[in-house]
Each structure stands twice: as C-alpha cells, then as structure tokens.
Amino acid sequence: MEQSLYTILYVDDEEINLKFFSATFSWEYNVLTASSAQAGLAIFKEQEVDLVVADQRMPGMSGVDFFEQIYQLNPEPARILLTGYGDLETIVQAVNKGRIFHFFQKPWVEEELQTLFTRALQIRTLQRENSRLILHLQKTNEDLSRALGEVESLTTLLEEENQLLREEVNESFKFDEIVSSSPVFQEVLHRTERVASTDATVLITGETGTGKELLARAVHRLSHRRQKPFIKINCAALPAQLIESELFGHEKGAFTGANAARPGRFELAHQGTIFLDEIGDFPLELQAKLLRVLQEGEFDRLGATRTTKVDVRIIAATHIDLNAAVKQGHFRSDLFYRLNVFPIHTPPLRSRKEDIPLLIRHFVRKYSVKNGKVIRRISKKTFQLLQAHHWPGNIRELENIIERGVIMSKGDKFKVDNWLLEDLSNELAIEDQNGKIGSLEENERSHIVRALQKTNWRVTGDQGAARLLQINERTLQSRIRKLQIHRPNGIDD
C-alpha cells in the first residue's frame, strides 16, 4: 500500500467517532487517533503531523484549549474543530486568535470535510516548500560567502603574485645579457645550460658580485618552467620569523598582526622556481622545514592544520663556504647534501681577466643608453687600467665603476680617471668598516696600493714604499708583481 503524503491527527473522546473517521479517511491520509487531548498532545510531540482535527467537547480539556497548546508546540499544521453545540463565542475568539483554521458543525459530511482538508493541506504543502526554500537560500548564502572568501583569498594571492611579478619585470631589465668569453666562464654557462632543463636543485657558489643571481635567472629561463614565476628571497635580509612566514605563508591569527591568511613564496612559486639567495644565512631553526620541502615538496603554513603541497624547483646561492658552515654547526649537513645536488661555482673576475674588455664594452653601452650619452671611444689605457685592477667586488664593482665613469664622461670618449681607482681603495676601507673582512690577499693588496700612493709609486730608497712597509725592497717588488699591482697611469715603475 502506498504511504500517504499527509498525516492527520484526530482527537475525540468517543471511540465510535474515531473509528468512523479512520474508516472514512484512511484511504487517503495517514490517520492517527487519540481518545483524549492529553493522548493527542503526546502523539503530536512524537510524530510529524500535518493537520489536527479535534472535538470541542471532551472531558479534561476542551478542543479550543487543546488547540492553544498544539499551537504553542507548532503553529504550522492546520487545526480544525468539530463542534456539536453552538458554543460560538469561545470558538469565534479562537478563530480570531488564529488558533483554529476552521470549525465544523457536527455531524460532518465527508465531501465537505474532504474539501477543507485539501485546502488546509495545500497550505501545508506551501509551508513545506517555503521552509525548503528558506533552507536552500540559507545554504546558498553560506556557499556564496564561502565562495566570496575563496575569491578574497585568491585576490590576495593574485595581488601578491602581481607585486612579485612587477618586481621581477623591473629586475629583468637589469639582467638581459650574460657577457663572457673566458673558457672558465664558458664552462660555467655550459653546466648551467645542461642542468636548466632538469628539475634538479642547483647550488650556486661564488664571491660577491660574480653573477650568481644572473645564473639563477638563466637556469629558470632555460627551463620548462620559464612561463611560471621566478620568486626570489634574500635570506640574509630578513629575521627568522619573517623568513618563515614569507616562505611558507601563514593562516589568519597565526601570530599577532596576522589579520588575514597569506600565501608564502613557496606557494607563489608553484610550478615555477624559487631562488633562495644567501642560503648560508638561512636560520638553523627553519632548516628542517626547508629540508621537508626539498624532500617531500610539502610544508605547513604558520598556524595551519593542513599541509600544503607544491611543485617548485629550488635554486640556492651563497658566497660563504657551506661546507665550513656545516662543520661549525651553523648549517645542517642533510640540508647541505640536498642542496648540493648540482653545484655551480662562479669564478671571481680576477681569474678570468679576459672577460673584462667585453664587460667594459657591455656596461659602457648599457649605461650610455641609460644616461642618454653617446660614447664612441674607450682608450686603450682605460682598458689596461681596468684590466689590471684586482676587482674584489667582481663584476658588480666593475659595473659600478663604469656607470660612474659614463656619468662623469664628457664628449664621446669614455675614460676612467685616477680618482676612480683611488675611490676603489677607499671602498675597500669602507667595506672593512662595515664589518666585512676581505681576504688576506685583498688586504695586503690594498695596503700596498695605499703605501705606493703615499710614496708617489716609489718602491725603493728612503722615500720608497718598502721602507714605509718595513719590508725588503725585493720582497715588495715580487709581491707587486704577484698581486698584479699597476700604477694608475699604466706605466710601471
């Protein structure tokens, strides 16, 4: 038998009426009966009822009072009162108060009652529909605000990405060309090209200004990830806590000031490359977390309960000796081995002096364009002068000197004056003041240059530099040769 859609509860103290009602309407409805108001209330509390019919005259509780209580429990099901007596006033009051949907004079006629039920149940259907719609609306609302939240976090992600891309665009103007002809650096470029197409982690080591970042960018450009972001982070420039949230991101409320969730650079670099510059300064306490990204490709945002997975190629660079850092306990050995999969060493400029003329031309061209100058000639002496220099700051130092030279040049001839080289030795002194300790050779060199400047480049005799430095004249001469110290005008003593 089919289950009826609607349930009608009928309450009457006379058993015969209940039986008759049941017999009449059970075909169409699911009929529940109760022989007292109390029993009716108990059923009403237990089961879902769509319509309640009750007799007015019952011992213990009248129909009107019964409906008042039903109404308090659930006002939605329609309530129909059957009455044999003209107890009109109370009934009209109850109708007016909305406690009764309709009342009916006994004896009832099936068809009339049926029509009434149909109307009442139509309303019930609409009520049900209504609450379904309200629920749906609430859910849609929730979905909508969830979607809105997602849109918001996506927006911040995009904004972050955008910011980094903009920085990137500015950067890329700086590094358009790698200039080199020396066999040592050609070999470096070879290795760079070979590793680029793989996903291997690359560790670039070399002195300051030797082009480590330039190579890191080249690896990315030559890789299949070139359309995806290249994200750089300078590990020396940030305190540990900031590095952690910069790299791995954080959830809202992860720490004071974390007002909104923020993706880290690893997430931004997804499918691209991340460049960890100055990895030697990477905080020891975060090294295990970095190792996990290298090994598993996953990490947790600060304050996060779930793990984030990324596909990122890692390039790291450092000017310090990581092996020594491992021995001193500043750097985890397992992290070092993971990073050192494919090492590339950028040789210092002084060991590839044949690159200097090319670099000079390159930078003179670059900075004349930048400064709106037309420079057509570079003197031989300038070439000699620049080639003779020791370049402790490597290509960056050469680039700076040339930029200044271009700015100072008059007419179409590029020329570096003596003051530039004097500047160079001052720069060395400034570097020392900043706490950077140059190598013994660098310091020896600059010390000898300073002594020679004081003696007007005399090495021997009472007025010579050897006396000033309190060393043997022959020893000084051989040092000058070994360190390739040249007099700025190009004519040696």
Ligand X SMILES: Nc1ncnc2c1ncn2[C@@H]1O[C@H](COP(=O)(O)OP(=O)(O)OP(=O)(O)O)[C@@H](O)[C@H]1O
175 counts as binding ligand X under rule CB under 6 A: yes
Which residue, 287, 303, 310, is CA-closest to 240? 287
4, 24, 114, 208: residue in contact with ligand X (rule CB under 6 A): 208
40, 77, 211, 249: residue in contact with ligand X (rule CB under 6 A): 211
- For the bound state, the minimum distance from the C-beta of residue 396 to ligand X, rounded and expressed in Å, comes to 4
Structure tokens at 401: 């000197």
Alpha carbon distance 335, 328 (integer Å): 14
Count other C-beta atoms under 10 Å from residue 274's C-beta.
25
Q: Which of residues 356-415 bind ligand X (CB under 6 A)?
A: 362, 395-396, 399
Site size toward ligand X (CB under 6 A) is: 19
102, 228, 270, 319: residue in contact with ligand X (rule CB under 6 A): 319
- For the bound state, the minimum distance from the C-beta of residue 459 to ligand X, rounded and expressed in Å, comes to 34
11, 214, 233, 420: residue in contact with ligand X (rule CB under 6 A): 214
Three-class secondary structure of residue 54 per DSSP: strand
Alpha carbon distance 467, 179 (integer Å): 43
Q: Which of residues 133-172 bind Mg ion (CB under 5 A)?
A: none
179 counts as binding ligand X under rule CB under 6 A: yes
157 counts as binding ligand X under rule CB under 6 A: no
Q: How many CA atoms are closer than 13 Å to the CA of 211, on its beta-carbon side?
A: 24
What is the DSSP-derived secondary structure letter of residue 2? P
168 counts as binding ligand X under rule CB under 6 A: no
189 counts as binding ligand X under rule CB under 6 A: no
Max distance between CA atoms of the chain, in angstroms, equals 143
Segment interacting with ligand X, rule: CB under 6 A, options 46-54, 67-75, 210-218, 375-383: 210-218
Segment interacting with ligand X, rule: CB under 6 A, options 204-212, 264-272, 367-375, 440-448: 204-212
Which residue lies nearer to ligand X by CB, 362 or 389? 362
90 counts as binding ligand X under rule CB under 6 A: no
CA 177, 183, 189 angle in degrees (round to 5)?
Answer: 45
Alpha carbon distance 186, 208 (integer Å): 19
Distance of CA 7 to the CA centre of its chain: 57
Alpha carbon distance 179, 121 (integer Å): 87
124, 212, 389, 445: residue in contact with ligand X (rule CB under 6 A): 212
Three-class secondary structure of residue 249 per DSSP: strand
What is the DSSP-derived secondary structure letter of residue 302? B
Which residue lies nearer to ligand X by CB, 24 or 208? 208
Q: Which of residues 200-219 bind Mg ion (CB under 5 A)?
A: 213
Q: How far is CA 299 from CA 39, 153, 268, 309, in A?
A: 62, 19, 13, 7
Which residue lies nearer to ligand X by CB, 196 or 310? 196
Residues that bind Mg ion (CB under 5 A): 213
- Contacts with ligand X, residue ranges (CB under 6 A): 174-175, 177-180, 206, 208-214, 319, 362, 395-396, 399
